[in-house]
Structure 1
Amino acid sequence: MKPLSLSMSAFGPFASSQTIDFTELGNNPLFLINGPTGAGKTTLLDGICFALYGKTTGNEREGSQMRCDMADDSVLTEVTFHFQLGSTGYRIRRVPEQERLKKSGDGSTVQKSEAQLYKIAPDGSETLIVASKVSDATAEIEALTGLDVEQFRQVMVLPQGKFRELLMADSKAREQIFSQLFQTHIYKRIEDTLKAKAADIRNLVKEQRARRDGILQTAALTSDDELTAELSRIEPEFAAATAAKEQSVAAHLAALKQRDSAQQLFAEFTRLQELQAEALSLNEQQAQIATQTTRLEVAKQALRVKPLLDNALSREQEASVAAAQRDSAQLTLDAAKLALSHAETAAQEIIPLEHKLREVEQQNSHLSALVPQLAEFASLEQALAQAKEILQHTKLQGQESKTALATLVEQRGHCENQLPALQSQSEQQLATAQALQQHRHMLEQFKQWQQICAKVAHTQGVLEQVGLQGKALNTQYQAASTAYKSLQLKWFQGQAAILARELKPHEPCPVCGSSAHPHPAVSHEDLPTDLQLQAAQDAEALALDNLNKARAEYRGLQKQLETQQHQANELATVLGDKVELSLESHSQTLERLMQQAKQADAAAQALQQLQQQIKTLQQQESTLAQQLELERERYREQEGKVERLSGQFAEKALRIPEEYRTLDVLNQAIAHNQQQLEQIKRQIDVLRTAQQQATEQSVAAQTALSAAIERCHATADLQAQAQQTLLTALDNAGFIDRDALREALLTDEQMQTLAEGIETYHRQCALNQSQLSQLTTKLSESTLPDLDALEALLTERLAQLKTAEEVWSQLNTRLTLLNNTQTQLAIVDQKAKSLEDEYAVVGTLADVANGNTGNKISLQRFVLSVLLDDVLLAATQRLHLMSKGRYRLLRKEDRAKGNKASGLELEVEDAYTSKVRPVATLSGGESFMAALSMALGLSDVVQAYAGGIKLDTLFIDEGFGSLDQDSLELAIRTLMDLQSAGRMIGVISHVSEMKEQIGTRIDILKTSHGSEIKVILP
Structure 2
Amino acid sequence: MRPLTLKLNNFGPFLNETIDFDHVKDDQLFLISVKTGSGKTMIFDAIVYALFGEASTKDRKESDLRSHFADSKSPMVVEFEFKLRDDVYKIVRQGAFIKEGNKNKTLGQLTVYQFDNDDYDLKESKINTGNQFIKSQLGVNAEQFRQLFILPQGEFKRFLLSKSSEKQEILRTLFNSQRFEDIQRNLMDDVKEVREKIEKRFSILENNWQDIDAFNDEVLTEFKLINARQTNRVVEVLPKFIEKAKNIQEQLKRRKHQQQDEVKKSETILDDNINLEHALSKLKEQQEKYDALVLKENDIQSKLKLLNEIYEVRPLANLLDTQETLKIKKTKITQDISNKDQLIRGLVSKIQKDEDMLMIHKKSSQTLEKTREFKERCKLFYDNANKYKKAYQEYDALKISYNELNENFVLQQQQFDTMNAQLNYRNPDYEIIEILNSEIFELKNKVKDLKHNELKKLEYQSLQNRKKQKVEDLKAVEQHLKNLENEYRSIDKTNIDLNNKKDIITKIQSALQSGDTCPVCGNEIHKIEQHLDFDELTERSQNLSEIERCINEASGNKIKCESELKYVNEQLAEFSQDDLTDTNYEAYDVLIETKKQQKKKATIENEEISRLKEQLQQNEQKLHALELESKTVFQNMKAYEVMINDFENTTKHKNVDEFIKAYELDVVKIQQFDDKLEKLGQGIQQAQNELSIEENSKKYLEASCTEIKEELENMSVKINTEMGRIGFEHFDQVKETIAKLNEKNKLEDDIETYNKEKQSFELLIAQLTAETNDRELKDSEKLKEDYERQQQCLETITTELSQHEFKIEFNQKKINEIKTTIEQLEFELKEQQEVFQLAEILSGKNERKLTLENYVLIYYLERILAQANQRLALMTGERYQLTRREQISQGYSGLEIDVFDSHSNQARHITSLSGGETFQASLALALGLSEIVQQEAGGIALDSMFVDEGFGTLDQETLETALDTLLSLKSSGRMVGIISHVSELKQRIPLILEVETEQYQSTTQFKKQ
Query: TM range, normalised to the smaller chain?
Result: 0.3 to 0.5
TM-score, normalising length: structure 1: 0.44
TM-score, normalising length: structure 2: 0.44
